[in-house]
Amino acid sequence: MGLPNASGDLSTEVEVDAFRRLFPLHFYEKHLLESIRPDAPPLGRAREATIALGVVASANGSTLSKVGSTRLISTCFQLLGVADRLRQHQSLQSNYQTRF
């Protein structure tokens, strides 16, 4: 909602917002048929995208990705010692099965 359109008619904007909320499938189908996104740019125009690396100091790897107004943080953590513990567990399990 927010600002009125060029003619200063806020009621039209309210009606469009109501239609979008009540009939989302029809709302988006109409935009796709006209080859425009609901936020006005044509479908063929790419949104600005950026990627920043190392945004989470405690992670082994991390990124902040931005595409248009969407933000995504991805992180990767390495669990030290898990492989060793798994091998130890498998070794104990095979020893147990051998004895009994």
Report which of 98, 62, 55, 92 is spatially closest to residue 77, judged by C-alpha positions.
62
What pLDDT does residue 3 have? 47
What pLDDT, on a 0 to 100 scale, did the predictor assign at position 36? 82
- Name, of 24-33, 34-43, 51-60, 90-99, the range with top average pLDDT: 51-60
Tokens, residue 2: 């927010």
What pLDDT, on a 0 to 100 scale, did the predictor assign at position 1? 42
CA 51 from chain center: how many Å?
13
Give this prediction's pTM: 0.46
Residues 6+ apart with CB under 8 A from 72: 64, 65, 66
SS3 category, 71? strand
* Average pLDDT of the residues in 85-95: 72
Phi-psi region of 73 (alpha: psi -120 to 50; beta: other; left: phi over 0): beta
